[in-house]
Amino acid sequence: MLKISNKRQYINDGNSYFYQQQRKKQRNRWFKLSCLALLGTLLTTLLVTSIVQAKPLDSVSNNINGHADNLLIHGPQLLFDHPDPSMRAALPVDIQVKTEINGLIAYTEITQVFINPHAIALEGKYQFPLPENAAVNYLKVRIGERVIEGKIMEKQAAKKAYIKAKKSGRKASLVEQQRPNLFTNKIANIPPQSPVEVTIRLISTVSYHDEKFSFSLPLAMTTRYQPQHSHQYQQRSPAQLNSEFFAPASASLANSEAAITINLNAGVSINNIASNSHTITSQSLNDIGSRYKISLDKQHIQADKQFTLQWQLSHDALPQVSSFSEQIADNYYTLLTFFPPQQGQTATLPRDVIFIIDTSGSMQGRSIEQAKASLTQALVLLTAQDSFNIIAFDSDTEQLFNHNEMVSKHSIAKAQHFIEQLRADGGTEMYRPLNNALMMAKSPDQQTLAIRQIVFITDGAVSNEFELMKLLKTRIGNARLFTIGIGAAPNGYFMKKAAQFGRGSYVFIQNLNEVQSKVSTLMAKISQPVLSNIALMLDQKIHQQLEIYPKKIPDLYAGETLQVAIKTALPINNIQLQGDTATATWNQQLLLNEQQTALGISTLWARQKIADLLDGLVSGENPAQVKKQVLATSIAHQIMSPYSSFIALEKQPYNSPLLVNNELTSAAEPLKIAMPQTALGWQQQLLFSLLLLTLAALLLWQQPKRYKNP
């Protein structure tokens, strides 16, 4: 008989409808969670990619080449006129410098290399600094395999030729002078992914200061401050102001790099070859030690500060005068360099010294510390017979005393406290403090014959140089102005020109360790010049046609040289130099070496003539007449000027993709497939596509399934 158990148990085979639905719900939950995680990852990646693409390519530096304390200093910044604003990040320009120095003349070839990384032909533009005393006389541009050479043209004509070439699809380069030490280059129709090589040649003179010869090459620029009240500012539209400076508005700038090699031939034995800006290596090329090859310790350096090189001659090898000449057609061009004569102890004159210190925002960081240190050092070197005052300025002006006071323990202590409280902030309004210094009342206790000396400490980061020099020209009177340049990239043009109009001299301090020595040297020599009221005399019967620049020869100061460029119809073999010292009139006949020739002397003469002509604008010369003379000199000698430009034009357009009026031509159609030109880059487009696919999958999964009856 069959027995039935009372213990019953439900047998689950896992295939019932209930458990199938439970497992389906669980899978749906896991799928949704996975999709949400993937969606979050894609969105995060998309955001990060957008931020990265808003910056330059791998060369971007948020602290601008390591200058976290001064965000205004930067090397050349390459910008492409891309139709997509998100693709307009700054790119680097690599710089290669080769310099040949023969005696006191430097021949420099600068090669600037970059690439168009985009998928269409575009216009690139960038700024770059050059020595303010350099004469630029050669331009060559290589774009891919195409090479075009430049020539000097009137500025507006060159600009029209460039625009015409750009619209017709031809490659073109336009190099313009924005400031005497600041240039811009525009290059049209650069093919996609094509390298560009720009070669510029220039001639400059070697400087002499404190018994040292030096060669300087600016590699970085300081963004200039334009005072709002400036007459120059009011005459320019915002578009014109923005077109002068090509650095992007964002804080992300590209790290341009430089490589430098120099062949130095001094002609006599030299020593103490050094650089206070970079680490260098030097190799002697002959037994007497007159020729050296100098290069950087590293193959490449960041273009974030000025490069300087110094060397010395032995005292017995130092000449009284150095002369180089060049014959062009029927004219002779002579460059004379006068060295200060040896002299004994001179009497010290009482001085009425006014120190002006820049405390604007561009001086933040090491610059303000250098300025304060140099000012403190200068106070120590004042004597009891001197009177003084201090004016600090940024957007506003603050001065230590209402009128100058005699040097005493109390006045010096008050001045030191004043200096300690100085902070860098605000704009760079130089006009008011300079005017105040020129008009400042003397101390009642100071001697009537005390010479007024203004010592101006600044990085010179302004763009209204014309106004400031006009002020000096009209109000300098018998005062002397001495400028001290602070920081990695001071506006050397303004600093030197201001000292020129103020009949003083310019000192550049880049290294904090040099503050004490350089300020001490300056303060020791500014009681009076070694030679003043200088005149050059040649035999009028022989040299009836003379052009000497500068026309008004400045004073000759201890530890410095004086250069004069002369154009004559016959060679010069002797010259008479006259001047006044502190105690007597100095007169000497100098014999010149007619056989010492050098290329480029005519170019240097033309550069000095143009500088002298432009100085006439400050004196009130007719602007139209000045422009006409400058243009004639510039074109005749093929050197750049404010009224002329270097223009290089391709004769026929090359068959390559190009962008005209922001529209891609048919030649570039295949590139539209390879890399679509939309508002997003290809990485962002890929992520965006994956995002859409994920959303589509989610929507499809949510759709209810429909079953058909069998």
Rounded CA-CA distance 422/420 in Å is: 6
- Least-confidence region, from 143-152, 504-513, 581-590, 667-676: 667-676
List the domain boundaries for the chain. 60-313+642-649, 320-343+532-571+597-635, 351-525
pLDDT at 295: 95
pLDDT at 231: 42
Q: Which residue has the higher pLDDT, 243 or 133?
A: 133
Structure tokens at 661: 């009026």
Closest CA to 576 of 546, 535, 531, 530: 535
Write the CB contacts of 637 (distance below 8 Å, at least 6 apart in sequence): 135, 137, 602, 603, 606
182-207: average pLDDT:
95
pLDDT, tens only, 437-495: 999 988 988 887 788 999 998 876 666 777 888 888 888 887 889 998 887 666 777 78
pLDDT, tens only, 406-430: 999 999 999 999 999 999 988 888 8
Rounded CA-CA distance 518/513 in Å is: 10
Sheet order of strands, 331-338 included: 321-328, 331-338, 562-568, 546-549
Length of the chain (residues): 710
Rounded CA-CA distance 662/599 in Å is: 45
Fold of 60-313+642-649: Immunoglobulin-like (2.60.40)
Which of 197-201, 342-346, 428-432, 649-653 has the highest average model confidence (pLDDT)?
A: 197-201
Q: Which residue has the higher pLDDT, 408 or 691?
A: 408
pLDDT, tens only, 243-285: 445 555 555 788 999 999 999 998 888 889 999 999 999 999 9
Write the CB contacts of 200 (distance below 8 Å, at least 6 apart in sequence): 109, 110, 111, 112, 130, 136, 138, 139, 175
pLDDT at 577: 87
DSSP-derived pairing of the beta strands 257-265 and 94-102: parallel
pLDDT, tens only, 462-471: 667 778 888 8
Write the CB contacts of 395 (distance below 8 Å, at least 6 apart in sequence): 360, 426, 427, 429
DSSP-derived pairing of the beta strands 331-338 and 207-209: unpaired
Helices within 320-446 (DSSP H only): 366-380, 409-420, 431-439
Q: Is 289 left (phi over 0), alpha (psi -120 to 50) or beta?
A: left
The CATH number fitting domain 351-525, selected from 3.40.50.460, 3.40.640.10, 3.40.50.80, 3.40.50.410: 3.40.50.410
- Whether the CB-CB separation of 597 and 325 falls below 8 Å is answered with yes
pLDDT at residue 13 is higher than 50: no
- Least-confidence region, from 57-71, 154-168, 192-206, 275-289: 57-71
Containing 691, the helix (H) or strand (E) segment is helix 682-702
pLDDT at 219: 92
pLDDT band at 342 (very low <50, low <70, confident <90, very high): low
Closest CA to 101 of 294, 282, 367: 294
Domains 60-313+642-649 and 351-525 alike in fold: no
Residue 129 CB-half CA count within 13 A: 27
Rounded CA-CA distance 482/478 in Å is: 13
**Average model confidence (pLDDT) for the chain?**
78
pLDDT band at 343 (very low <50, low <70, confident <90, very high): low
Angle (deg, nearest 10), helices 682-702 and 17-53: 160
pLDDT at residue 661 is higher than 70: no
Q: Spell out a b/e string for 258-282, using b for 16 or more CB atoms within 10 Å of the CB, else e.
A: bbbebebebeeebeebbbebbebeb
